[in-house]
Amino acid sequence: MIKFIIKGILRDKSKSLIPIAVISVGVMVSVMMSGFLNGVFSDVINQNAKLDTGHLKIMTKPYAENKEQLPNDLALLEIQKLIDSLNINYPDLIWTPRIKFGGIIDVPDASGNTKSQGPGIGIALALQNKESRELERLELSKSLKRGSLPKSNGEILFSDDYASKLKINPGDEVTFFGSTMEGSMVFQNYKMTGTVKFGSPLMDKGTFIIDILDAQKMLDMENGTGELLGYFKDEIYNDQKALSISKNFNLKFTQSDDEYAPIMVTLKDQNGLRESLDMGDAFSGVFIFIFILAMSLVLWNTGLIGGLRRYNEFGIRLALGESKNNVFKLLLIEASVIGSIGSIIGTSLGLIFCYYLQEVGVDISEDTANSTIIMPSVMRAYITPNLFYIGFIPGLFSMLFGTALAGRGIFKRETARLFKELEV
């Protein structure tokens, strides 16, 4: 029967060409938009996790309340003891300290006078600790633009835009002016080894990186850190698991009288990500629903036109004794075949566009130049397994729904009038 229906579709293109074209375009847009939105949301999550939030983050309660001010005087202390405890209780996570601090970078000339100067944000990472995976996580080797990565103490890495602004090159000496954890002034010389491109306009403006041991010594934070970040060992964020871990950890300190008791927060509970991502997911669902409804209405009209053209065909089949249920059932099977063909074509085209957007992307660096949110400068689509079947949902459903609405006319036919209609 299916073979017979396929032959009918191929031989009579007038009844299948328009529906297949409509479904193909609709499915293509659905797959492309789904892949693009998935890519954008995934990039935002990964970018924030790598550069700022981690999958989980531990801070002191007062630090968490004022973290925009980078209050290192409210930092965590005796972190090695805390890390050892976390490794025992949560073995699925890797914990690594980070210190964020602000200050001024001064670039001297050959005479020792200031050649250029500018404010910057420093990030101290465990660069020399391979177990932290910080170099791989931030992909610093891939992001390297000039020079090399720091390999020993007293070396500093700049964002490429910041280095260009200060007019410095690998090998130059710079001086950091800032304040310690206790509030006293600090002056520290560093040797610039290279520059990197973070891929986030906010980070590329004025960021530099030093090793965590250098920062702890310079800022009087021995065995201390502003933030302790946790990453799942597979580097994939699991919100339900993260929420469970944070809830379990925070319960231990709920009744604590310690003003500087630690608190753990998940990735989505930072930087307003939960609201933004949940809104994006809701938008994606609404988009697909509206698209299915719109395609159903178009295909309903197409089905009505096709039904009128095939009015005599249905009449002859009913007059020959075929039941209305059977005619309607075969009509739905035919719609399923047409929907499948259109969905296959649309999915293939959608995946092609997704692959292009995944490899090339859309550069939005100019639009996000003044952004205060960590987000990628190039928006990309991601080809995921669900894209291979998600297009069949609107493709098949809309065709079946439209055909079912148009096919109601079959049950309204009065067999007694068939012969009179056929005579005409």
Same-domain status, 226 and 130: yes
Indicate whether 74 and 214 sit together in one domain.
yes
**Residue among 246, 262, 228 nearest 132 (CA):** 228
d(C-alpha 49, C-alpha 126), whole Å: 16
| Judgement on whether residues 76 and 104 belong to the same structural domain of the protein | yes
d(CA 232, CA 241) in angstroms, rounded, equals: 10
Tokens read off for 348 = 């293939």
pLDDT, averaged per 10 consecutive residues of the chain (424 residues), comes to 64 71 84 85 84 91 89 90 92 93 90 87 89 86 89 91 91 92 90 88 86 92 92 89 93 84 91 79 76 69 61 69 77 82 90 90 65 66 86 78 71 57 52
Answer for the pair 350, 391: CB distance below 8 angstroms, yes or no: yes
Q: What pLDDT, on the 0 to 100 scale, is given for residue 114? A: 85
Q: Are residues 34 and 68 in the same domain?
A: no
Cβ–Cβ < 8 Å for 192, 172:
yes
Domain termination residue (choose one: 183, 211, 236): 236
Are residues 87 and 221 both part of a single domain?
Answer: yes
Q: Is residue 244 included in any domain, yes or no?
A: no
In this prediction the pTM is 0.75
Instruction: Print the domain residue range for 14.
Output: 2-47+275-423
Both 199 and 303 in one domain: the answer is: no
Give the list of residues 6+ apart from residue 236 with CB closer than 8 angstroms, or none.
Answer: none
Q: Are residues 212 and 67 in the same domain?
A: yes
Please indicate, yes or no, if residue 125 is contained in any of the structural domains: yes
- Shared domain for 32 and 172, answered yes or no, is no
Query: Which of 46, 91, 67 minimizes the C-alpha distance to 263?
Result: 67
Examine residue 260 and state whether it is found in any structural domain, yes or no.
no
The residue type found at 275 is: E
Domain boundary among 188, 214, 236: 236
Residue 416 maps to a domain: yes
Q: CB within 8 A of 41, min separation 6: which ones?
A: 277, 280, 281
206 domain residue, yes or no: yes
Q: Are 103 and 37 found together in one domain? A: no
Q: Final residue of a domain: which of 188, 209, 236?
A: 236
245 found inside a domain: no
- Selection from 92, 86, 29 nearest residue 290 by Cα: 29
In terms of Cα–Cα distance, which of 333, 335, 350 is closest to 389? Answer: 350
66 and 34 assigned to the same domain? no
Number of domains present in the structure of the chain: 2
Based on the domain organization, do 159 and 217 belong to the same domain? yes
Question: How far, in Å, CA of 208 to CA of 156, rounded?
Answer: 7
Give the up-direction half-sphere exposure of residue 310: CA atoms within 13 A in the CB hemisphere: 20
- The helix/strand/coil state of 274 is helix
Answer whether residue 243 is part of any domain: no
How far is it, in rounded angstroms, from Cα 176 to Cα 117? Answer: 10
pLDDT value, residue 375: 61
Structure tokens belonging to residue 220: 């009087």
The Cα-based distances of 236 to 62, 97, 383 in angstroms read 29, 19, 16
Instruction: Classify burial at 25, counting beta carbons within 10 Å of its beta carbon; exposed 0-12, middle 13-18, buried 19 or more.
Output: middle
Residue 412 resides in a domain: yes
Q: Measuring CA to CA, which residue among 70, 87, 56 is closest to residue 124? A: 70
- So what's the pLDDT on residue 248? 92
Q: Are 308 and 419 part of one and the same domain?
A: yes
